[in-house]
Structure 1
Amino acid sequence: MADYQNTPVEDTAASTQMFRAFVDEPQPKPATAPSEGSRTGLIALGVIIALVVIAGVVYLAVK
């Protein structure tokens, strides 16, 4: 017969300490987004390119 009386006792203090260590870990910083100045520059460049393409299409349509 199996003896179920000698089961190991769970150490709840260690479990609590591990949980607190996990919860108290510093969160990793999110990846840095491009700065606001470079984002504005990219948008301006995109608008200028779009205007040049539209002007080229209009020029070819009128020609």
Structure 2
Amino acid sequence: MSDQHIDPAGNTQQFRAFAQRNEQEIAPKKRSAVLPIIAIVLGIAIVGVVAYLLLK
């Protein structure tokens, strides 16, 4: 009896769809990590400017 299971890795179109889907899912995760860092840096800068103006 032959094996009825077809390996999806053997199909180039399915592999390309899989690879493109993963790249699209990873990209937003990288961008979302940058926003909190920018917010923290801006917060520190604002606190520094306010402290400088108050102590001047």
Q: Which runs of 5+ in 2 are unaligned?
A: 40-56
Deviations 1:5-29 (A, max 9, x none): xxxxxxxxxxxxxxxxxxxxxx623
Partner of 1:36: 12
Give the length in aligned residue pairs.
Answer: 37
Consecutive unaligned residues of structure 1, counting only runs of 5 or more, are 1-26
* Greater percentage in helix: 2
Runs (4 or more) in structure 1 with deviation over 6 Å come to none
| Aligned: 1:52 with 2:7 | no
Identity in percent:
5
Of the two structures, which has the highest relative contact order with CA contacts closer than 8 Å and spacing of 6 or more? 2
- Superposition pairs of residues 7-18 of structure 1, within 5 angstroms: none
Q: Distance in 1 between matches of 2:35 and 2:18?
A: 26
CA drift of 1:30 comes to 6.0
Q: 2:24 is aligned with what amino acid?
A: I
SS at match of 2:25: helix
TM, length-normalised to structure 1: 0.47
User: Scaled by the length of structure 2, what TM-score is found?
Assistant: 0.52
Worse overlay, 31-40 or 50-59: 31-40
Structure showing greater radius of gyration is: 1
